[in-house]
Chains A and B, each alone.
Chain A
């Protein structure tokens, strides 16, 4: 089954404790991206990747890092989480940037 898998689905952590949210897709897609969703705002792009070892900042990259060492995986790293990073996060992948995106199940992160 074609899918994008994120883990964990829910996470509560403390300020400053490094964490990684994993994202994996099995569709051999080149384009992957991370979004955060906050009440009243649309999905905002954090980082995107056009292919292996090619990443770039989206609209809200501050406080986040990503890597794309393999085509299928695109982890999101929060080196020192802060409460303003409490949000719902989605990973998405697509064949190219102008084809439909497939979204993961979402990760609800709370930083206290």
Chain B
């Protein structure tokens, strides 16, 4: 992995269902992994900043895990609600001080 990559690009979820998606990043020289939530017509807002291998963070129904040795992070949404509809961005440092973003996973929750 040479860049920050996110999959899938988009997904549709039924209200009440849980979902998860992936961020992959170069595992060498890992420094930090960021997750942001970006709603249409708004600015990205930070969800998590993760630095330790095996770290798990939680905010409400959203949680994230980090595996720095293999270079991936999962974001989980439990019991999806329409207000969870947004684009979720992850970012990592390919070079120190240069935060590189993935293209995002756009989540649409259907009522």
A-to-B contact residues, CB < 8 Å: 31, 33, 35, 40-45, 48, 50, 56, 58-59, 90, 97-106
Contact = CB atoms under 8 A, between A and B. Distances in A.
Interface of A is mostly: loop
Given A41-B103, A98-B31, A103 B43 contact: yes
Query: Residue among A33, A43, A58, A59 with the most chain B CB within 10 A?
Result: A43
A100 B89 CA distance: 13
Identify which of B34, B44, B104 gathers the most chain A CB atoms within 10 Å of its CB. B44
B98 A48 contact: yes
Interface residues of B, number: 23
Nearest to B102: A42
A45 B100 contact: yes
A31 B45 CA distance: 16
B101 interface: yes
B13 interface: no
